[in-house]
């Protein structure tokens, strides 16, 4: 799944700064519903990652049933945290 495609699908824009709070809330809700319905592991991970970046991801144990997927999600979270630290410090 391509990030720009996901942003367009759920928020009708690739520029989240231009999205109204109502559109953002509706898009997040739709994304969470789709995450709950999605069976493909890769697509579920992509949806969870998008929600995580937007501060709306459900708990890993509930969202990702496979242990390898949960470990990949933890690595993703660590990488994002490290990159945020670099932006603040550099």
Domain definitions of the chain by residue range: 3-89
Looking at the predicted structure, is the pLDDT value of residue 90 above 60? no
Q: Residue 89: its pLDDT value, please?
A: 61
Q: What is the per-residue pLDDT across 24-53, written as a single tens digit (0 to 9) for each?
A: 999 999 999 999 999 999 999 999 999 999
Report how far residue 20's alpha carbon sits from residue 48's, in angstroms, rounded to the nearest whole number: 22
d(CA 80, CA 66): 21
In whole angstroms, what is the distance from residue 56 CA to residue 19 CA?
Answer: 16
User: What is the pTM assigned to this prediction?
Assistant: 0.88
């Amino acid at each position: 799944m391509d990030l720009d495609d996901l942003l367009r699908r759920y928020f009708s824009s690739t520029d989240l700064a231009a999205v109204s709070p109502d559109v953002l809330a509706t898009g997040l809700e739709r994304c969470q519903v789709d995450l709950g319905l999605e069976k493909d592991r890769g697509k579920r991970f992509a949806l969870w990652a998008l929600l995580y970046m937007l501060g709306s991801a459900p708990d890993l144990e509930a969202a990702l049933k496979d242990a390898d997927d949960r470990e990949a999600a933890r690595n993703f979270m660590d990488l994002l945290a490290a990159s945020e630290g670099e932006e603040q410090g550099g």
